[in-house]
Structure 1
């Protein structure tokens, strides 16, 4: 194989541009969707804040309640003032940064480890491109994508009439998190031997740093007028904390965002260094040796799929447990907020359809838990596509296991993952109800069952896409969850039309209101899920394998 040192220096720039054009062409759908979705969420925050917190007294009351219950900061940004633009960024900046982070990590792994794993990366390395050019093209591609986010977010806020300087800082803060996680994703792709492991490592780092930033904000010091919070030291350990401390429209500090960009650049340089010393197809973290004798459960397709998916299912279940605990624990914390601001109470009542403020808080959290359950289901079905693309499905299908039974095993494990996530959330709510309002546990149980049905809709749609358009499985599955989350969770807050909010299965899940269960949407979702699963199994009988990614 041709080494990087044997390639003339002048030849490398000539191969970089064709590779970059190839990456952009391959991502002509995925990356624009991430970018436009981030810009759309930024725009939704403008109208939502103007509609829900239109007066300064409303915004001051919101921030005062946040200071009194700082655990809310685990899910929001860093308060920097009671201005309309400041509150908008307090509510939405962490989510914009999270979208940029997810886009960057998936982009980094998709064009590095995911190419090397099936052997395509080695073929490219044998050409004048060597091993450096593909990684360099991925870096340039990621930088361009994050610059597009920076520009669009900035233009959205300037177009809304917000100050230009703060708008540029808001865009830079969002992009800085994306660039930081571009480096994290590139390094994870060098450390782990599989794309699945690299994505898991990068995503867990993203979630962990998000929580660390939230803890740093929650443990901070509020100002005397209760409109600003000075974050504590843990926030400075996280890219999300750096982005929050830029404080758009208040301090307009650029250097915390630069810190995130510098860390991303350092991690990228480390990724280049690691790639230069490791063997093709290998990772720094060694592959774990298997047991001498396989467990009896691996003799069935369901057992095999469960063995492959149990780690991710456990991770989503831990998220469900924590969210379920907070669902009941924080319900009473928003009582004061709802009694002081009518618009806030209307938002929660819209989410719970007929319930009160505390019930609406429980439903809101269980909507997030439904998203976790849907993610667990989609990831399990997408695993079938990954097994097919990597060629590991063929040895299984060469045995007595037929295609329908193989797909059915993934669907069964996906359903099991949904049940595990919801059960973990209900267990967390049960723990949180001790010493509190135990009646909220009934609302949690109904909301949990409803969100399990909603998650099954995404399972069915992803399975159907896998059968009909296998190459679009991963993109469509995850994008549908993201769109439904945005519409279902942010629809009432951002005053989206009722018909648009109603398109999200999460928002249509049955809830308990006025002593009766509101099953509107529950039956059609259950029917749609069953029909989708049945159709995917029937169509799988005649479907050919598509082993290429």
Structure 2
């Protein structure tokens, strides 16, 4: 009982720090869930249109790598097919980042030492992070359910949808707490968390793709790999169809085991230590590490490789699924209309499919670019920027090097995407003009992705503490508008507020430049302002 006041005080402090971030995560997910229903009513308003899309997905199961588990053509079940994996993904990311932020990041900043110096002990911060994360996931699940109920969907299915997302969030809350015990830095712990989330998402998709379809091609029974993934457990609750809560029992069990493991580890290890020790580096840096740009590239290379791997897969699919989607579009005018909104009304369907996938590749590229700016903010917080700036490297050169590395990372991700698209054309004997279309689409997304890098750099100079939430937040909002805008029935003008959706695209033998000029102007203005303001900006190491 004596720990309750200390726990309450620590929880209150963390809630004040997390208030805005949690509101964005949770309210954004609830709005997305409600908007998905409105989008389905608009774009797939007939039972025949929904049945056509589900039949195509089950006949060509590679589509299930990126969607949920088909459970019928009813409005609710169809909404769950489209949105449940993404709601679970949001809950997982929110929970992992929360867990690392309040454990390993606290130890890195030295704040954990201050708490540990009191009578609170070493386990209390982890215990409070666990309770804080559990409460956040409960609110997440509740608001998602209320959002679906508010638009008129059945209450049981809405509650199961919320519970599925919250269950996945609890699993990755425990996973994030374990990662914070294993790795020495918050950067490594967050990387491990995101990697685990993406692997779990992919495993569930593979299990769904290898499943057994029903005779009418409206329902898929998952194969065994799906049951190895928290996303698979969530999808097999089948909201608005079976409304089964039993598949969530493994999620609760795994979340409990991971949380207990994190608590036991925090009790045994020293503050600041990790279960996995750091490798000893060489006494002298290699010649390729003697400039700020080369050092930043070395630090970013692993993340860029991960984004490039996703781009390669998306690029390959962009030119291999064209014939599949053409067959679907012939029987489903709603799908063809969505692709036309994403691309251009007078472009070919193959170009529309390619453009759609390059929107996804553009998101990967934007993430790689923003990550380069976030990286120098992390270096600043951790104190490792000071030794660099104590040399002849000035602050403007340091920021300029980070921006240059980010642009190189963006270009590399998009180049890999183009290479994947070209391999797809070769493998399927596709139309030769798709080579040009891939290059044009990649060029357009290059312009779009650099907008986010420039804006993140400007935020870094004006409000350092906001670099991480605003940098990633801008990409998230743009991704929702670019990927979900057409599905949700949003007007073109609103969707194209996102640079990703406003990027130049191929149209027939030409190019629709769309928002090229305002994006170039925004990038130039934001980057110029950032470099100018950086001359007077002092280091801000406080997190």
TM-score (norm 1): 0.97
* Cα deviation code 1:63-106 (max 9, x no counterpart): 11011110000000000011011001101110010001000000
Match of 1:508 in 2: 502
* Cα deviation code 1:136-195 (max 9, x no counterpart): 111111111111111111111112221111111111001111111101111000000000
Q: CA deviation at 1:285?
A: 1.2
1:68-107 to structure 2, matched below 5 A, reads: 68-107=59-98
Match of 1:50 in 2: 41
Q: Residue 157 of structure 1: which of 123, 148, 152 is its match? A: 148
Match of 2:396 in 1: 404
Alignment partner of 1:445 is 2:439: yes
Q: Residue 187 of structure 2: which of 173, 196, 201 is its match? A: 196
* Cα deviation code 1:452-480 (max 9, x no counterpart): 11000000000000000000000000011
Alignment partner of 1:205 is 2:196: yes
Alignment partner of 1:472 is 2:463: no
Alignment partner of 1:230 is 2:221: yes
Q: CA deviation at 1:120?
A: 1.3
1:486-525 to structure 2, matched below 5 A, reads: 486-525=480-519
Match of 1:259 in 2: 250
Q: CA deviation at 1:436?
A: 2.5
Alignment partner of 1:273 is 2:264: yes
Match of 2:383 in 1: 391
Match of 2:4 in 1: 13
Alignment partner of 1:436 is 2:429: yes
Question: 1-side partners of 2:529 and 2:188: how far apart?
Answer: 31
Match of 1:365 in 2: 357
Q: Residue 528 of structure 1: which of 509, 522, 525 is its match? A: 522
Q: Residue 30 of structure 1: which of 11, 21, 25 is its match? A: 21
Q: Residue 318 of structure 1: which of 309, 317, 326 is its match? A: 309
Match of 1:378 in 2: 370
Q: CA deviation at 1:357?
A: 2.1
Q: Determine if contact 1:348/1:356 at 8 Å carries over to the other structure.
A: no
SS at match of 2:243: coil
Alignment partner of 1:185 is 2:176: yes
Q: CA deviation at 1:515?
A: 1.8
SS at match of 1:517: strand
SS at match of 2:506: strand
Q: CA deviation at 1:392?
A: 0.9
Question: 2-side partners of 1:86 and 1:389: how far apart?
Answer: 46
Q: CA deviation at 1:12?
A: 1.4
Q: Determine if contact 2:210/2:222 at 8 Å carries over to the other structure.
A: yes
Q: CA deviation at 1:520?
A: 1.7
Q: CA deviation at 1:11?
A: 2.4
Q: Determine if contact 1:104/1:182 at 8 Å carries over to the other structure.
A: yes
Higher mean Cα deviation, 498-507 or 192-201? 498-507
**Runs of 5+ unmatched residues, structure 1:** 1-9
SS at match of 1:28: helix
Alignment partner of 1:63 is 2:57: no
Question: 2-side partners of 1:514 and 1:222: how far apart?
Answer: 37
User: Cα RMSD over matched residues?
Assistant: 1.0
Alignment partner of 1:141 is 2:135: no
SS at match of 1:512: strand
Question: 1-side partners of 2:127 and 2:268: how far apart?
Answer: 16
Question: 1-side partners of 2:199 and 2:20: how far apart?
Answer: 29
* Cα deviation code 1:498-521 (max 9, x no counterpart): 221011001100011132111120
Question: 2-side partners of 1:379 and 1:261: how far apart?
Answer: 32
Q: Determine if contact 1:11/1:128 at 8 Å carries over to the other structure.
A: no
Q: Which runs of 4+ in 1 moved over 3 A?
A: none
Question: 2-side partners of 1:363 and 1:356: how far apart?
Answer: 10
Match of 1:6 in 2: none
Question: 1-side partners of 2:466 and 2:155: how far apart?
Answer: 39
Question: 1-side partners of 2:479 and 2:81: how far apart?
Answer: 19
Q: Determine if contact 1:325/1:432 at 8 Å carries over to the other structure.
A: yes
SS at match of 1:117: helix
Q: CA deviation at 1:239?
A: 0.5
Q: Determine if contact 2:293/2:404 at 8 Å carries over to the other structure.
A: yes
Question: 2-side partners of 1:139 and 1:146: how far apart?
Answer: 11
Q: CA deviation at 1:128?
A: 1.6
Match of 2:320 in 1: 329
Q: Determine if contact 2:95/2:176 at 8 Å carries over to the other structure.
A: yes
Alignment partner of 1:463 is 2:457: yes
* Cα deviation code 1:232-277 (max 9, x no counterpart): 0000000000000000111111011232122112101111111122
Q: Determine if contact 2:341/2:492 at 8 Å carries over to the other structure.
A: no
Match of 1:417 in 2: 409
Match of 2:292 in 1: 301
Match of 1:173 in 2: 164
Alignment partner of 1:540 is 2:534: yes
Question: 2-side partners of 1:394 and 1:292: how far apart?
Answer: 19
Q: Residue 282 of structure 2: which of 272, 279, 291 is its match? A: 291
Q: CA deviation at 1:447?
A: 0.7
Q: Determine if contact 2:69/2:220 at 8 Å carries over to the other structure.
A: yes
Q: Report how many residues are paired.
A: 540
Q: Determine if contact 2:122/2:271 at 8 Å carries over to the other structure.
A: no
